Structures are given as C-alpha cells and as structure tokens.
Structure 1
C-alpha cells in the first residue's frame, strides 16, 4: 500500500472553493460551470450510476438565476453557483426523495430538509439526488452504484452515490449521513474526503429517521476546504432537532488552511477490531505511524470501549425497528434479507439493554474527550481495507462504529492506495465540539505525509 496525493483544496479549478472565486471574479459563469460538470456526468454515469434522480433542467434554471443575480449586483451567498449532490434521504421540494427502496417510489416532499434549505440560501445549485442504499442501511439500493476506480467494486454505503459522484468529478461535494460508517467508509473506498461532524452540529430535520441517537449529517468532498465550506453553512441552530444546541459555527474553511499552533501529537489507536483489518492495512498504518515519528504515540483504548460495538448495534437496531415499523408491516417482502433481519432483531431488544446502551454514550464519550486532553486527535483506519469486490456487499463499517456511537467528529483522508490500485482513507477523530482543530490536524497530516 502506498501513499497517494491529496489536497486541502487550493489547487483545483473544479473545487467548490475555487469555483466560488472564479464565478465571483467573472472567469466563468455558473451556467458554464454547470455544463462542465454535466459533461463529466455524461462521460461516466452510465457505468457508475451515482444518481437516483438527475435534475438537469432544474439545475440549469438555478444556474441562470445565479448568473442573473451576479449581473445585477444582487447579494450572493458563500456557495453561489456551486453544484452539489444530495443523498436521496434528504427531503427536496423540487425532486423526489425515495430512500433507495421501491416502498417509497414516487415520494414527493413539500419542503426541503433544513440542511438543503441552508445550502440553497447560500446559492448552491442542487444537481440531483445521489444514490443511497436501501433505507440508508447495508443493502445496495435500487440504483446499485459502482466504485469509479473500478466498477466491479462497491463504493461503500450508505452514502454510495455521494461518494461516487464526487470521486467521478460529477460535483465537488455532496451530502451524506452516517449512523455507523456511511460517510467515512464510502469516502475511504472512493478516495475522497469524508467529514462526519460532532453529533448535533447539523440539523436532521427533513432527513430520513433511522436511529436518531446516532444519525448524523456529513459531507463527501473533493478537498478538505470544500468539506468545510459546505458543512459550516449547514451548522445553523434548528430547534426542531433535539440534538442541537445554540452555538457559533466553526470556520472550517479557514481551519482547513491553518496548522496547529504547536507541534501536534496524535494517538494511534488500533481499536478492539484491529484483527478485522487486512494485513496490508495493518502494515500500512504501522509504516505511517513510524514515518510520523514523535508526532504519533500508540495507545490502547480503555477496556470499557470493548463493548461499544455491541451497544451501538443495540441502539441502532432497536431504533431502526421503531422507525421502519410501517415499512416492515406493509412491505416486508420488498425489503432485503439484511434489513428485515435488523428490524426483527431490533424488535427483540430488551428495554433495559437499550437504556443502558443509550446512557453509556455520554459516559464513554467523556472518557474519550479526556484522553484527547493529551492528544490532538486519534489516528485509526477508516475501513478494514480497500473496497470489496462485488456490489452486493457495501463493506464493513467496524472502524467507524466507536466514533459514531460517541458522537465524535471524524475525517476520512484520501492518503493511501492499495496494491490493487484502489484507495483507502486514513481516519482522524477529534474531541466532541472541536471540529476546527480536527481540520487543522488533517491539513498538517497531509503536509507531513507529502513532505510539504
């Protein structure tokens, strides 16, 4: 496994950050930029199948409106003219939201999800709905998206289409969600940046409810700065989401260009599932830790963390059983075997086990935050290896589970390439609420690996 080139977002004219600047300076119009992206869609979509719904005409109208506003000198937003993909579990008033299942075919919401509304208010153009796995779980959805690096391999899930669309250059960024590993894992498999913020940082109003104790909105992006640009403009308090608290949004775009004020120190954690990483990944992370020298210290997580995977499964499946009850009752025969099994196991979860698993989140997260008083971030794999061959399995989320359960911010950084030529990400995890620090650490890590 070798190190691969990556970027924080200043070197590509097609990055969202660069596109905002180019449109503002008159180098290109929003309509011209959109047509360039649509040309890339036409080049590869037949093979990749990243989109559940592509709104070409609607996007062109949005671009024309954006260009008219600029010509007239009207105020413009921070994402003026930038095309984005929206995972097909976010409500959109002008496009169907079908959750990757025939059970919701033709569903047309009346309003945008809060996150989509915020991005539109900043001038973003919604190019369409990216493919999701079935009800954002483990089985591939209706579209069966492929990995742009090799269409015989999975792109991961459940934010399959968002990761694939960004990797293929269809859009510079796209929305995803994560309840286990649904942003970080596909980002790793597709070789793009994946960002899962601190729990409660972005509203989930208008997003499919799977397991609200765990559900988080995230971003797949071509660059670190693009991930920050898109995410920070969704970080607006929404009283309808009980997980949110009023707080100022961090300037993640700026943090993506900054470095830690002092020499950083990362804690390399293999986690209790290290034996599930393939030998190539284990060797690569050992070499990475060695190459970073004194900036990395290997530590073991406390014994209490060994049970997190079981507790996460308890919470997730119990809440899936509750929230997907109607789908199960009216169309169990149209659900995959894996989702039916999750729902049926969730129905058998004992209340005492669920309550204990929920109550453990805060206590264990506090322990993790305390460990990070001595370190800037945890360094760990984003996935057990490169994307598995075949389209029926979206790959293991096991290296994401701990951090999702604890609500800690995480980034998948496209730094490595396997011997089969497929990418794999390096995962950085920060303390809750310290997302800007995590972005600085990612910027530092890219420079350290590339020798910059």
Structure 2
C-alpha cells in the first residue's frame, strides 16, 4: 500500500476554497463554474449514479442571482457561488427528500434543515440530493451509486452519493451524516476527505432522526480546507437540537492551513477490532507509524472500551426501532432483511441495557478526553481495507464505531492506495470540542507524508 492522490486527480481543481476566491476576484462567474460542474456530471453520472435528484434549472437560477449580487457590490457569503450536494436524508424545501426508500418516495418537505439554511445564507448553490442507503442504514436499498475509482466496488454508505459525487468531481463538497461510519467509511473508500465533527457541533433539525444519541451531520470534501470551510458555516447554535450548546464555532478553514504550535504526538490505536483489518492495512499502518518516528506512540485503549461496539449497537438499534416504528408498521415488507432485523432486535432490548449503554457514553468519552491530554490525536484506520467488490454491501464500519459512540471529532484522510488501485483513508480522532487541533494535525500529517 502506498501514499496516493486524494481523489481521481480532481482535488486541486475541484476546490470550494479556490472557487470562492476566483469568483470574488472576477476570474470566473458562478454560472460558468456551475456549467463546468454540470458537464462533469453529464460525463460520469451514468456510471457513478451519485445523485438521487439534480436541480439543474434551480441551480442555474441560484448562480444567476449570485452573479447579479456580485456585480452590484452586494455582500458575498463564505460559500458564494459554490455548488454543493446534500445527502437525501437532509430536508430541502425546494427538492424532494426521500430517505433512500420507496416508503418515502415523492416526499417534499416544506422547510430546509437548519444546516441547509446556514449554507444557503452563505451563498452556496444546492445542486441536488445525493443518494443514500435505505433509511441511512446498511442496505444499499434504492441507491445504485458506484465507486468512481472502480464501478464494480461499493462507494460505502450511507453517505454513498456524497462521497462518490466529490470523488468524481461533481461538486467540491457534499453533506453527509454518520451514526456509525457513514461519513468516514465512504470517504475512505472513495478517496476524499471525510469530517465528522464533535457530537452536537452541527444541528440535526430537519435531518432524518435515526439515533439521536449518535447522529452527526458531517462533510465529504475534495480538500481539508473545503471540509473546514463548509462545516464551520453550519456550526451555529440551534435550540431545537438538544445535543447543541451555545458556543463559538472554531475557524476550521484557517486551522486547515496551520501547523501545530509544538511538536505533535499521535497515539497509534489499533482498537479491539484490529484483527478485522486486512493484512495490507495492518502492514501499511505499521509502516506509517514507523515512518513518522517519534511523533507516534502505540497505545492500547483501556479495557473499558472493549464493549463499546456492543453498547453502540444497543443504543442504535433501540433508537432505530423507536424512530422507524411507523415505517415498520406500514411497510415492513418493503424494508430490507437487514433493516427489519435491526428494528426487531431493537424492540427486544431491555430498558436497563439501553440506559446503561447511553449513560456510558459520557463516562467513556471523558476517559478518552483524559488520554488525549497527553496526545494530540488518535491515529487509526478509517476502514478495514479498500472498498469491497460488489454493491450488495457498503462495507464494515467497525473502525468508526468507537469514535461515533463517544462523539469525538474524526477525519478520514486520503493518504493511501491499495495494491488493487483503490484508496483507503487514515483516520485521525481528536478530543471533544478540539476540532481545530484535529485539522492542524491532519495538515501536519499530509505535509509530513508528502515530504
């Protein structure tokens, strides 16, 4: 396994940060940029199938409005004229949101999700809805999205369309969500940047309610700077989301260009599921840790972390059973076998086990934060290996589970290429609320590997 390009060779040309500046400087109009992206979509979408709904005409109108605003000297937002994709479980008032299942086919929300409102307010052009798996779970469902690097392989899930759209150069960034591994895993498989923020950093109002104790909104992007630029626009307090707390948003876009102020130290964590990583991944991470020298120390997680996968499953399936109750009752025969099984298992969970599993989140997260007093980040795989062959499965999320359960911020960094030519990400995980340090460490790691 070797280090490689970030995604389809498009990372440098497919940059939201660069596009915003070019539009501000008058080098290109928002309409011209949009047409270039639409041409890329026309070229590869028949194969990639990243989109569930494309709003071409509406996007063109948005671009025209953006160009008129610039010409008359109106204030321009941080994402002025930038086309973005939105995962099809996040509400948009002017486009359908169908949750990747025939049970919600044709659903038209009346309002935007709060995160979408924030992006619109900063001038983003919402190009369409990216495909997702069935109710954002494990089964591909109605989505037919393929990995842009090899269409015979999965793009991952459930933010499959968002990751594939960015990797194919259709948009510089797209919204995703993660309840287990649904941002980090597809980012790894598709060779793009994936960012899952600290739990509660981005509002989930207007987002499919799957597991409120675990649900995160995240970003798939062509560059680290783009991930930070898009994410920080959504980091505004929303009292309707009980996971949020009033606080200032970090300047992630700036942090993505900075280096740590002191010599960095990463904890290389194999996690209790190290045996599920393929030998190529195990060897590659061993070589990476060795190459980084004194900046990396191997660390074993406390024994108390050994049961997190079980507790995560208990919380997730119990809350899925609660929140997907109506879908199960009115259309169980239209659900996949895997989702029916999750709901049915969730219905059988004892209250004492669910309460114990939810109450353990805060206690174990505090232990992780304490460990990270001595380290900048955890270094660990984003996935067991490259994207599996076939489209019947979205691959394993096992290397994401611990960090999602704990609500720690995580990045998938497109650093490696497998022997089969497919990408695989390196995952960095930071302390809760320390997302800016995580971005600085990611920038440092990429520079160190590139030198």
How does the TM-score come out when normalised to structure 2? 0.99
Does residue 300 in structure 1 map to residue 300 in structure 2?
Answer: yes
- Map 1:265-304 onto structure 2 (within 5 A): 265-304=265-304
Alpha-carbon offset, residue 197 of structure 1? 0.1
Q: Distance in 2 between matches of 1:429 and 1:6?
A: 19
Q: Deviations over 1:293-322 (max 9, x none)?
A: 000000100000000000000000000000
| Alignment match, 1:88 | 88
SS in 2 for 1:97: coil
Residue 237 of structure 1 corresponds to 237
Alignment of structure 1 residues 171-182 onto 2, 5 Å? 171-182=171-182
Aligned counterpart, 1:444: 444
Alignment of 1:213-224 (within 5 A): 213-224=213-224
The SS at the match of 1:233 is: helix
CA distance in 2, matches of 1:133, 1:340: 14
Are the counterparts in 2 of residues 403 and 410 from structure 1 also a CA contact under 8 Å?
Answer: yes
Alignment pair present for 1:117 and 2:117: yes
Instruction: Tell me, in whole angstroms, the C-alpha distance in 1 between the residues paired with 2:361 and 2:121.
Output: 34
* CA deviation profile, 1:400-433 (whole Å, cap 9, x unmatched): 0000000000000000000000000000000000
**SS of the counterpart of 1:214?**
coil
Contact 1:5 1:450 in 2 (8 A): no
For 1:281, what is the secondary structure of its paired residue? helix
Partners of 1:251 and 1:378 lie apart in 2 by: 21
1:246 — aligned with what?
246
Q: Distance in 1 between matches of 2:12 and 2:179?
A: 31
Contact kept? 1:285, 1:381, Cα under 8 Å: yes
| Off by >2 Å, runs of 4+ in structure 1 | 9-14
Deviation, structure 1 residue 143:
2.5
Aligned to 2:362: 362
- Offset of residue 38 of structure 1: 0.3
Post-superposition offset of 1:75: 1.1
2:97–2:108 Cα contact (<8 Å) kept: yes
- After TM superposition, the structure 1 = structure 2 runs for residues 385-424 of structure 1, keeping only pairs within 5 Å, are 385-424=385-424
Matched, 1:60 2:51: no
* Mapping for residues 14-25 of structure 1, pairs under 5 Å: 14-25=14-25
1:144 CA displacement: 1.5
Alignment partner, residue 36 of structure 1:
36
1:256 is aligned to 256
1:14 Cα deviation (Å)? 3.0
Offset at 1:11? 7.8
- Cα displacement (A) at 1:238: 0.2
Alpha-carbon separation, structure 1, partners of 2:10 and 2:406: 32
> Aligned pair in 2 of structure 1 residues 408, 292: CA closer, same or farther (>3 Å)?
same
1:87-125 deviation per Cα after TM superposition (whole angstroms, max 9, x unaligned)? 000000000000000000000000000000000000000
CA RMSD after TM alignment: 1.1
Deviations 1:164-206 (A, max 9, x none): 0000000000000000000000000000000000000000000
Q: Distance in 2 between matches of 1:68 and 1:143?
A: 37
Q: CA deviation at 1:29?
A: 0.2
Query: Equivalents in 2 of 1:94, 1:129: separation in Å?
Result: 11
Q: Is the 8 A contact 2:11 2:222 kept in 1?
A: no
CA contact (8 A) 1:131 1:141 kept: no
| 1:20-60 superposed Cα distances (whole Å, 9 cap, x missing partner) | 00000000000000000000000100011000001100100
In structure 1, C-alpha distance between the alignment counterparts of 2:394 and 2:318, rounded to whole Å:
22
Give the corresponding residue for 2:316. 316
Kept in 1, the 8 Å contact 2:138–2:157? The answer is: yes
> Could you tell me how far apart the structure 2 residues matched to 1:285 and 1:279 are?
10
1:340 aligns with 2:314: no
In structure 1, list runs of 5 or more residues that go unmatched.
none
- Asked whether the equivalents of residues 10 and 18 of structure 1 are also in contact (C-alpha less than 8 Å), the reply is no
Which position in structure 2 is the counterpart of 1:373? Answer: 373
In the alignment of these two chains, the number of paired residues is 450
8 Å contact 1:147–1:153 — kept in the other structure? yes
Q: Is the 8 A contact 1:365 1:406 kept in 2?
A: yes
> Is there any run of 5+ residues in structure 2 with no aligned partner, and where?
none
Cα separation, 2, equivalents of 1:12 and 1:402: 32
For residues 286 and 280 of structure 1, the distance between their equivalents in structure 2, rounded to whole angstroms, comes to 10
| 1:6 Cα deviation from its structure 2 partner | 4.1
CA contact (8 A) 2:85 2:175 kept: yes
Conservation of the 8 A alpha-carbon contact between 2:10 and 2:169: no
Match of residue 156 from structure 1: 156
